[in-house]
Amino acid sequence: MHIPPSQVKRVAFSPDGKQLASASDDGTIRLWHIRFGELRRILKGHSGQVCDVAFSSDGKQLASASSDKTVRLWHVGSRGH
């Protein structure tokens, strides 16, 4: 798994430890499979850099906050937010 450090603002681990979410300054969130180091998905929806990410306690949702003054809730098992 290679994530350019200059692009990453924050990371969060899923409660089960299987996924990593990385918040980027390009307005995207990348979901990684930790065991295999594979990029699973790129979530797009913010127009500014993503400042923070956090998984729900059951790991089914991911919240993101952006410099575009929005907070989004993503359903991790789906293709969108």
Q: What pLDDT score was predicted for residue 9?
A: 87
Side-chain-facing half-sphere of 53: CA atoms under 13 Å: 30
In a domain, 80, yes or no: no
User: What's the pTM value of the predicted model, to 2 decimals?
Assistant: 0.84
Residue 39 structural domain: 8-75
Determine the distance from the C-alpha atom of residue 18 to the mean position of all C-alpha atoms in its chain, rounded to a whole number: 13
Cα–Cα dist 16/57, whole Å = 9
Q: What pLDDT score was predicted for residue 1?
A: 59
Long-range contacts, 34-42 (Cβ 8 Å, 24+): 34/1, 37/1, 38/1, 39/1, 41/79
Burial class of residue 6, CB neighbours in 10 A (0-12, 13-18, 19+):
exposed
Q: List the pLDDT tens digit at each of the 81 positions of the chain.
A: 566 655 888 999 999 999 999 999 999 999 999 999 899 999 999 999 999 999 999 999 999 999 999 999 999 864 444
- In the chain, how many domains are there? 1
Q: What pLDDT score was predicted for residue 78?
A: 47
Q: What pLDDT score was predicted for residue 6?
A: 58
In a domain, 20, yes or no: yes
